[in-house]
Amino acid sequence: MRTYFLDNSAIKHSWDGKTLKLTQDVETTTGIVKEIEVTLDSKGNHVKVLHRLINTNMWDIEASPWAMSVMAQGGRLILPQEPFGAHPEFLLPARPLVLWRYTDMKDPRWIWGTKYIQLKQNPKVAKKQKAGLLNKVGWGAYYLNGQLFIKRYPYNPEATYPDMGCNTETFTNDEMLEFETLGPLTKIPADGGKVEYVERWSLFKVKVGEDELEIDKKVLPLVKKATKAGI
């Protein structure tokens, strides 16, 4: 699988005072070069993260950018669901959710809410959990000790996403929690063709409990504030 290549070698890097560019060597088993550009907002607590895949093979490939943020112990992931709709006004399916064979929906680290799906990281529980979803709302957050990390990312209704249609995934064990986002499956042309995928990060000081009304009150205004920042 192209996904699994050890990132253990030195990388090239450059800094122009605003953007940090990181470039790895060509992966020997895939022919792919991965680049990340991190651009800081000079006026606020926001960051633009551009992920780039470059195909150096002599043939086209199909791939999806997989942006994985590894979060510290003891926090809680907050993922919004599409707005709730009552029956019989809404009859068509919505809110795709994908489970792995080892996903246990009774695990107390999960909070399956009406508006949000939350997953708590517990350093005392080694049992692995993973789930994915198609997040059309376009943001997610990780809360830890009065700090809220917000990640915003695009959704394309005309695109095909990997893993049965996921643009958002999460995994946790006793060591960490992964907040993963995925770009659409894209055909990348041979000999230097590329695909780019952008995340936008923001960080705020705020105390947020597990109650959904509190999330509405405290998190949603910060998502709007981050969106208006423009970076």
pLDDT confidence of residue 6 = 86
pLDDT digits (tens, 9 = 90+) for 178-215: 999 999 999 999 999 999 999 999 999 999 999 999 99
3-state secondary structure at position 151: strand
Q: Which of 28, 120, 116, 12 is nearest to 76 (CA)?
A: 120
CB atoms under 10 Å from CB of 175, counted, come to 11
Per-residue confidence (pLDDT) for residue 3, from 0 to 100 = 77
The pLDDT value recorded for residue 54 is 98
pLDDT of 117-145, one tens digit each? 999 999 999 999 999 999 999 999 999 99
Ranges of residues in the chain with a pLDDT under 50 are none
What pLDDT, on the 0 to 100 scale, is given for residue 231? 77
In the chain, alpha helices (H): 162-165, 212-218, 220-229
Predicted local distance difference test score (pLDDT) of residue 58: 97
Within 10 angstroms of residue 88's Cβ, the number of other Cβ atoms is 5
* Whole-number pLDDT of residue 1: 60
Beta strands 46-55 and 116-120, pairing class? unpaired
Domain chopping of the chain, boundaries: 12-83+93-229
The span from the CA of 188 to the CA of 193, in Å, is: 5
β-pairing, 110-112 vs 116-120, is antiparallel
Architecture of domain 12-83+93-229: Distorted Sandwich (2.70)
